[in-house]
Amino acid sequence: MAPRILLGLLGLAVVAWIGNKAGQDMRIFWIVTLNGLTLAALFFVVAAGFTLIFGLMRVVNMAHGSLYLLAGYIAFTLQGNWYGVSSNLLSGTPATVVSWIVPLVIATIVIGLAGVFMQQVFLRWNQGQDLRQALITIAISVILADQMVAHFGGIAESIQQPAVWPDSVSFLGIRYGFFRLVVVVGAAVVIGALLFLAIKRTRFGMIIRAGVDDRAMVSALGVNIQLVFAGAFFIGALLAGLAGVLGGTMIAVQPGNDSAFLLDSLIVVIIGGMGSLGGAAIGSVALGLVNSYADVYLKFGTNDFTNYAILLTFILVVAVLAVRPLGLFGRPA
């Protein structure tokens, strides 16, 4: 009971602190809040695939962030080839809807197939051996990271959104980016709803959940559990690829994003609980808002502590695990 009371008091203190800061300039507060929510939407798209693979299927895929980054580079390259320009000229080239959607679809499908290949070749034979899976996928992520730097360089690039889309929309009395608010948040909501229905309301989702708990029994019932697991891994990798293109358009495509988004996905799953889609959504919102508020409001008088904002992320994880060791919506494996 004591940890819960402590967490509640800490939460009230944080709300009071943010409320005091927000009162000084409501316009900045809404912008910072929207930054946190749109970042949370991107976290959710990445973490939804990670939740499906790691949280639900119990497959330790430490190369999930590499799939995210590779999708961004593939889409960026395809968009550059679409106009026949080099990467350093692409930033000044207006994109059409087709020249954005086609690279997105191709990159997403390629990453989905790459995920299935990785699962079938490297992970299928060691199901349940967490350490071995972690070591194999870490090796894959290191190789992919080195090859992406060698082939695409170390400069941050940006996928161009369609020029026909507005740059910003009016919301809560402020102007805010159209792509972040409408496309990324909309994609997260649609993906969340579809995944929930697929996992909770379809035979496919029922087989996945049953196969994780008792693979032998499901196989004895005549279900090709390996085919089902391959399909689930395809969807998980597909979501990483989709997030990579959205993130490359919303933020940038650059080395280091792979490890950063892998860490974010791990934090989201830890906060929300293994295998919980609702937990992933809440964990994403918590992580996005903490990151956004800490980058702006972590100031006390003349002292600026925003350089230590990353510490609040881990304080959030520790606080949640102190109250709910399995995460907010986690259940025993």
DSSP states of 179-228: IIIIIIHHHHHHHHHHHHHHHHHSHHHHHHHHHHH-HHHHHHTT--HHHH
Closest by alpha carbon to 280, among 295, 291, 264? 264
At 303, is the secondary structure helix, strand, or coil?
Answer: strand
Domain parsing of the chain, residue ranges? 39-258
| 292-298 contacts, C-beta under 8 A, 24 or more apart | 292/32, 292/33, 292/35, 292/36, 292/39, 293/18, 293/32, 293/36, 295/32, 296/28, 296/32, 297/17, 297/18, 297/21, 297/32
At 168, is the secondary structure helix, strand, or coil?
Answer: strand
Residue type, 10: L
H helix and E strand count, the chain? 14, 4
**Alpha carbon distance 133, 123 (integer Å):** 6
Q: For position 135, what pLDDT does the model report?
A: 94
Task: Tokens 């799953």: give the residue.
Answer: 269
Q: For position 322, what pLDDT does the model report?
A: 83
Q: For position 1, what pLDDT does the model report?
A: 47
- Strands (E) located in 37-134: none
- Asked if residue 178 lies in contact with residue 168, where contact means CB atoms within 8 angstroms, the answer is yes
Q: For position 93, what pLDDT does the model report?
A: 59
Q: For position 89, what pLDDT does the model report?
A: 45
pLDDT along the chain (333 residues), means of 10: 54 58 70 92 94 82 95 93 57 74 96 95 86 94 95 89 88 86 93 91 82 75 83 94 96 93 92 87 92 79 69 85 84 62
Q: Hey, what are 200's tokens?
A: 């909770």
CA angle 322, 324, 330 (to 5 degrees): 145
Q: Hey, what are 152's tokens?
A: 């695409």
Q: For position 53, what pLDDT does the model report?
A: 86
- Asked if residue 275 lies in contact with residue 297, where contact means CB atoms within 8 angstroms, the answer is no
- pTM for the structure as a whole: 0.89
Closest by alpha carbon to 76, among 177, 160, 193, 175? 160
**Alpha carbon distance 119, 108 (integer Å):** 17
Q: For position 328, what pLDDT does the model report?
A: 85
At 92, is the secondary structure helix, strand, or coil?
Answer: coil
Sign of the CA dihedral with 169 first, then 172, 175, and 181 last: negative
Q: 120: how many CB neighbours lie within 10 A of its CB?
A: 14
Closest by alpha carbon to 138, among 268, 240, 258? 258
Q: For position 113, what pLDDT does the model report?
A: 96
Sign of the CA dihedral with 47 first, then 198, 210, and 221 last: negative
